[in-house]
Amino acid sequence: MQDMGFSCRIPCVKPHLNKRQHQKRLAWAKDKKDWTAAEWSKVMFSDESKFCISFGNQGPRVWRKRGEAQNPRCLRSSVKFPQSVMVWGAMSSAGVGILCFLRSKVNAAIYQEVLEHFMLPAADELYGDADFIFQQDLAPAHSAKATSTWFKDHGIPVLDWPANSPDLKPIENLWGIVKRKMQYTRPNNSEELKATIRATWALITPEQCYRLIDSMPRRIAAVIQAKGAPTKY
């Protein structure tokens, strides 16, 4: 297999898409194909992500000598129910907003509180008096009728969005950057985990955000080329 150019790798994980979702992603991408990076800079992207306390996270492989298999530095520890936190965040081409740590399962009422106390201040900081478009996925709390009413009452346009499309969200890349930077941290409890997330999130620069937003036309072109299938992003 190696002589034929194959190598053993962990497979990339992509959302499963049915035929209808392929079609909707393709239609959405074709509708947005003429948007420029400047137009995408008016979009505030939002998302939630789960962070777990990592115990002895040394990556998938370690270097060791014969007889060192049980050496503590060569082990990866595991727990059945690791402590974790769920985080809501937002970004634009100008930078990131304030993080919100979610204490419970998010319903429409809780989500509207997040919008009121975290999204609106982030919009003021990132856009000032300029108009912007808000992006969110199709989670039930996001698409609830009461949430739609909240956006209308506040005069905030919401970007239409295809289901199962993390490859179209630059903020997914930011979560990845934060988690990679935290790979070798050792928080002992959820409060230390939150502090580490905040400190790492604060290191994200406007330049990083700008580059990610600038990739939107390329992401859309990739979806069109893939006929709606998952892309490399």
* pLDDT, tens only, 126-163: 999 999 999 999 999 999 999 999 999 999 999 999 99
Residue 159 lies in a domain: yes
Q: What percent of the chain shows pLDDT beyond 70?
A: 91
Q: How far is CA 104 from CA 84, 142, 183, 229, in A?
A: 12, 15, 25, 33
Question: What pLDDT sits at residue 200?
Answer: 97
Report pTM: 0.85
Q: Is there a domain that residue 231 lies in?
A: no
The pLDDT tens digits of the residues spanning 195-227 come to: 999 999 999 999 999 999 999 999 999 999 999
- Owning domain of residue 111: 19-56+66-225
Where does the chain have alpha helices with state H? Answer: 19-32, 37-40, 108-114, 120-127, 140-143, 145-153, 170-181, 190-201, 206-214, 216-225
First to last CA, the chain: 28
What is the chain's mean pLDDT, rounded? 90
In a domain? residue 26: yes
User: What is the predicted pLDDT for the residue at 131?
Assistant: 95
pLDDT at 61: 65
Residue matched to tokens 């505030």: 44
Eight-class DSSP state of 95: E
pLDDT at 56: 42
Predicted confidence at residue 55, as pLDDT, reads 44
The answer to whether position 184 is within a domain reads: yes
Residue 61 in domain: no
57: buried, middle or exposed (CB in 10 Å: 19+, 13-18, 0-12)?
middle
Residues 224, 217: Cα–Cα separation, whole Å: 11
- Assess if residue 10 is contained within a domain: no
Question: 27-36, 67-76, 83-92, 195-204: which has the minimum mean pLDDT?
Answer: 67-76
Q: How far apart are CA 35 and CA 218, in angstroms?
A: 11
Question: Could you give the CA distance from residue 102 to residue 163 in angstroms, rounded to a whole number?
Answer: 23
Asked whether residue 233 is assigned to any structural domain, the reply reads: no
93 or 76, higher pLDDT: 93
pLDDT at position 81 is: 53
The residue with greater pLDDT, 129 or 66, is: 129
What is the count of structural domains for the chain?
A: 1
Domain with residue 136: its CATH number is: 3.30.420.10
Q: What is the pLDDT of residue 96?
A: 98
What is the per-residue pLDDT for 77? Answer: 59
Q: Which of helix, strand or coil describes residue 178? A: helix
Q: With respect to residue 14, please indicate whether it lies within any of the assigned structural domains.
A: no
